[in-house]
Structure 1
């Protein structure tokens, strides 16, 4: 949990205010308008005091001076309304621009994070920081800071006016400032702790909701609705209790405490005038002005206290956002400039890797995949197949050994070059919301309409695409859920072919495709692999029998290597896997052994 100390809150506020730098000119204009509006608020009671003491009390009713006085008062009020509108408009504009920039920064940061971060952080928690937390920060810039600044100007101006009217009484009124400071400080200290708890519970609610939506099919199949509802209720109840604690603090230290101080100040002013009336006459106008100023002084105090809860929420939310922005678990860094991948030869040299820094999931992996060749990775679940792909795609940083492409370290290539020259097809392809054409092109302006159609024809996806409503303009819903798994995979293949990569990475690419579709895919794959380096993960050994090299992995090590026929002849782990998959029962004791 983030630090609740005053120094930490101050650091967060300073960092938030740094977002105002691009808007300095607009802020100066808004402050000027705010100052004018504040002066207008302060002049009103002074004009009222002049009217009472100089004209009303002595019954000095002179038309022309009174007309000027009244016109001045009305003019100030009209100007005040106009100036207040424009200053509020400018502050709101600045606030929205700041939050706009902050949300882009947060989203960009999420895009730059390494997969290690997403492995340990629930998706709902990340969404909460990008949406809920930035929304809380927006409220601070939109309403809180404006109120704080305006209240500060108004309170300062009122105190100055009080000293102009009566120095001794103004000094007495200063006694209320330490009391107000104590209330504000106490509220900040107590509410900060509760808001941290509330934000964390809200993040957990989002995470639980996101998990439930993504796994709804599994939840319903295994009848887990009651369990998930109970877990959601538990988190929601903790969020409720944290909210109630904060409400109790709000109820005690916000309006009631301030009203009590106001009553005490009012008694002080009336007592002062009552006591001084024994020795000298009381200036009714000054008394009116002081009571008016006292009322006006506590109005911004009440506004400030009412916004203080929003301020605390914003500071807590900003602390969580900055924690995300400061996250150091970034994606592996590639060179900004470097060579081009021309042939696509892949070489692993004694590569070892661990996700947690304790247990190696890959141990001294070495192999070479040449252009035009297919290297297949096989092995039981957890043997390290996907980890090899993750390292080659630069999703994770490896610690020991070296990965070379065309004889150069993979670290020496710019990220754009790696992503452009390595095509990845996953077992469960991801489709974006949009048209089929957009999913194949992926907003790559270099891919023409003709190339999109050619890519679809190449993988024989055009047959089903042309039967859909609007063909290539058919709208794909989120994750392509209205298409079959085979259709989604064909679109993913077309997407890869359209990009024309030098290296082809297939992660169980045919696992979710029916037999009839797989035959067409295998023909397309044979054509795709021509002239390209292909790395293929396969569970079904029948799909990789024509591979130039098959690597058999076991507990992160390559225990066998060779062609399909060579590995069968060795009668090792590959041979056992082949017998099991093909239902061969002879020599079953060897398989079990």
Structure 2
């Protein structure tokens, strides 16, 4: 098992391309977003107003012994506090609300986009990484709206307001107050750069952890069968160690930065007190002004310290957005431009000069030509990798052909609306996938038009009714993830029922009996014959004994049609098929 590590670095904070795309998700809520900006401005004005009124209270009322005026100013301060608390509540709630509805919309759009992607995309992309995109990266993005963009605007506005008031009150004391600001800016910049790197490492480690866990938990049986527990544990321990180190580095930077910032702030306050006290003693400065400046300085340094965090939050949000939009901009989806939506089809299939490759010009199928008439059964045989499964994937348009054409009832399959095309094709795969849900859901896949009675009728037809009725809850029995509580044969029978309830005109069986025992195969072979009756059927078979009644047998070798004919005709040719038939007879005897 390969460990596909991801290593993505942060980009620029101001990525206009990404921000424009993000704004498309904000537009439906732009009224609320603009109101959030107004609340941000209001907070930036309200917060610095408290020290100013405290200065007035001390210098104009306390110093003069004006008790009545002091009471009035206290009422005003209480009113400001209540108003600020209400505005702060509205700001916090609205920023959180906007963040949540936007990530909901992005997550829905991303998942809808994934549903349309070609299977080739999922072949080449680790599932754990897609899980990280849909969960962790989108959660990071929500912080852009709740703690990033609006908070940065608020902090910057508050800094400008505080500076304006400070210069208005006493410009000399303001310059003294800001004497330590260059030290704070330098330390903040260094902190921001260090934490940015550690955040990148953390997010990459999280993505690698998700990919590793998803892959190895899914393949746990392989790990245990081949005694790879110790080796896989060591690999997991290494990834987890990287994750721990990245987090510890970020904790280290925080543990250094905040004490340094506190020291710088304390020095600034000390300078203000020293210079201000000299002014007070010399009667050049009022006590209220000095006290208000100490408060201003505390309020000023807080957003400066927070800006480093805010910018990192915004930067990580931009990185997460870039990752998400990279998937959303990926056009590896099956084009669905067809207009044909027939209620019923006959099921005549024709492949004409079909060429196909999963990668470049590494041809899996080469110039394939054959026809299947309505009601006929065609069997595809050949060694592993001959191209059998590729053909059925092309007919269902899980992949599109590179050259040639595939027709159904004389029409190019690309001219059919995609969901309509697949509605008329029933597929039973060798590897049956079942969701962690009831048997009823796994058969109907949530289609409310299929009744329980129809399900049981189809189950009786394929011989699955008895075992379903024996299960606790019958159709409501939960099969757990991937059908873990059912046998291979039971899972296969459920897949037969699933194909039957949709009543398709074309039936495709991809080695559907190769994973079941002989007794179960005999049980469903009769059901398969009934399923094929009146339907166009394409069967991929490993056991040649199951396809002897086929109207046409096509032997594939390295992506090419080598032989074609009935069972008897191919035996008479004494070619590839005859050799394969003899080999299977000998293996059965032995």
Please report the TM-score for the alignment, with normalisation by the length of structure 2.
Answer: 0.92
Measured in 2, the distance between the counterparts of 1:355 and 1:345 equals 26
Measured in 2, the distance between the counterparts of 1:179 and 1:558 equals 77
Structure 1 residue 76, shift from structure 2 partner: 1.3
Cα–Cα, structure 1 residues 124 and 365, in superposed 2: closer, same or farther, change >3 Å? same
Structure 1 residue 308, shift from structure 2 partner: 4.3
Measured in 2, the distance between the counterparts of 1:350 and 1:188 equals 60
Aligned to 1:284: 287
349, 352, 357: which one pairs with 1:354?
Answer: 357
Equivalent residue pairs, number = 583
36, 48, 51: which one pairs with 1:30?
Answer: 36
Measured in 2, the distance between the counterparts of 1:53 and 1:374 equals 99
Cα–Cα, structure 1 residues 20 and 180, in superposed 2: closer, same or farther, change >3 Å? farther
Note the alpha carbon deviations across 1:340-399, whole angstroms, 9 max, x for none: 261111111111111111311111111101110111110111111111111112111221
User: After the TM superposition, which of the residue ranges 357-366 and 127-136 deviates more from structure 2?
Assistant: 127-136
Note the alpha carbon deviations across 1:408-442, whole angstroms, 9 max, x for none: 11111111111101111001211222222222222
Aligned to 1:331: 333
CA contact 2:280–2:287 (8 Å) conserved in 1: no
Cα–Cα, structure 1 residues 584 and 273, in superposed 2: closer, same or farther, change >3 Å? closer
Structure 1 residue 11, shift from structure 2 partner: 4.0
User: After the TM superposition, which of the residue ranges 357-366 and 28-37 deviates more from structure 2?
Assistant: 28-37
Aligned to 2:86: 82
Structure 1 residue 186, shift from structure 2 partner: 4.5
CA-based RMSD of the aligned residues comes to: 2.6
Structure 1 residue 338, shift from structure 2 partner: 2.2
Aligned pairs for 1:54-453 (under 5 A) are 54-57=60-63, 60-170=64-174, 183-252=187-256, 254-263=257-266, 265-266=268-269, 269-270=272-273, 273=276, 281-328=284-331, 330-340=332-342, 342-453=345-456
Aligned to 2:3: none
User: After the TM superposition, which of the residue ranges 222-231 and 108-117 deviates more from structure 2?
Assistant: 108-117
Aligned to 2:463: 460
User: After the TM superposition, which of the residue ranges 355-364 and 175-184 deviates more from structure 2?
Assistant: 175-184
CA contact 1:552–1:559 (8 Å) conserved in 2: yes
Aligned to 1:591: none
Structure 1 residue 495, shift from structure 2 partner: 1.1
Note the alpha carbon deviations across 1:225-277, whole angstroms, 9 max, x for none: 0010111112222333333444444445x424533543454355456546767
Aligned to 1:39: 45
Aligned to 2:21: 15
Structure 1 residue 224, shift from structure 2 partner: 0.6
CA contact 1:196–1:316 (8 Å) conserved in 2: no
Cα–Cα, structure 1 residues 245 and 125, in superposed 2: closer, same or farther, change >3 Å? same
Measured in 1, the distance between the counterparts of 2:408 and 2:100 equals 46
User: After the TM superposition, which of the residue ranges 540-549 and 341-350 deviates more from structure 2?
Assistant: 341-350
Counterpart of 2:337 in 1: which secondary structure? coil
491, 494, 499: which one pairs with 1:491?
Answer: 494
Structure 1 residue 130, shift from structure 2 partner: 1.3
Counterpart of 2:586 in 1: which secondary structure? coil
User: After the TM superposition, which of the residue ranges 481-490 and 143-152 deviates more from structure 2?
Assistant: 143-152
Q: Which runs of 5+ in 2 are unaligned?
A: 1-6
4, 15, 35: which one pairs with 2:10?
Answer: 4
User: After the TM superposition, which of the residue ranges 338-347 and 405-414 deviates more from structure 2?
Assistant: 338-347
CA contact 2:159–2:300 (8 Å) conserved in 1: yes
CA contact 1:552–1:574 (8 Å) conserved in 2: yes
Note the alpha carbon deviations across 1:115-162, whole angstroms, 9 max, x for none: 111112221121122122222222333333443233223222212211
Q: Which runs of 5+ in 1 are unaligned?
A: 589-593
Cα–Cα, structure 1 residues 64 and 247, in superposed 2: closer, same or farther, change >3 Å? closer
